[in-house]
Every structure is written in C-alpha cells, then in structure tokens.
C-alpha cells in the first residue's frame, strides 16, 4: 500500500499569516481605544456566522429536508459554508468574552 504525499500546495503557507497580520493591523488599534468597537465587531461576526448557517440550512429546506443535524446531507460547498458559519460565531463569542474580561 503506497502512501500519498502532497507535492503541490495550492495556497502559499505564509499567505494565511499575511492575512492575519493585516487583519490584526486594522482591528487591534481600534479595539485598544474603544471597548465598544470590540463588541460591535463581535456582533457582526456572530451575525455573519448565523447568516452563513442559515443559508446552508436553506439549501436543505429547498430539498424538503426539514430536520437534519450537521452538514452530512449538504453538498460540499454548502457544508463548507455551514462550518464557516460556526467558526465565525465561535470567534465572535470568544471576542465578546475577551472584551468582557478586559473591561474593568
């Protein structure tokens, strides 16, 4: 049995680091000056995540699948959107907790 190896990576590994650094350069200074900005950005993340999950679930509703748990019955694209929605909601909640913890 032969092992499979990745010979080509489609995304440059440092690309993710560059994107994260740019996002940090934009958002961190705002967050240090105003705790309200953190709460507002967290609310936007949670709302975007909820809309992603709702959009992915709508794909199941169109096929008359009214009760389903998880992305198992979704297509690959909708499944990725579903997971992205939960990641965004989780980041938003962590951001709310961090803002709550950092306020005096």
Confidence of residue 4 (pLDDT cuts 50, 70, 90): low
Q: What is the pLDDT of residues 51-81, one digit of tens each?
A: 988 888 877 767 766 767 777 777 777 788 8
Q: What is the pLDDT of residues 12-27, one digit of tens each?
A: 667 778 888 888 888 7
Q: Residue holding tokens 């240090």? A: 32
Residue bearing the bigger pLDDT, 78 or 90? 90
DSSP letter, residue 80: H
For helices 13-33 and 35-62, angle between their N-to-C axes, nearest 10 degrees: 130
């Amino acid at each position: 049995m032969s092992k499979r190896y990745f010979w080509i990576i489609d995304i440059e590994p440092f690309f993710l680091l560059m994107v994260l650094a740019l996002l940090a350069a934009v958002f961190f200074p705002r967050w240090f000056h105003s705790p309200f900005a953190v709460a507002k950005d967290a609310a936007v993340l949670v709302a975007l995540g909820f809309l992603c999950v709702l959009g992915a679930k709508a794909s199941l509703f169109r096929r008359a699948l009214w009760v389903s748990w998880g992305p198992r019955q979704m297509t690959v694209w909708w499944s990725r959107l579903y997971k992205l929605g939960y990641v965004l909601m989780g980041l938003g909640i962590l951001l709310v907790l961090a803002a709550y913890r950092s306020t005096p």
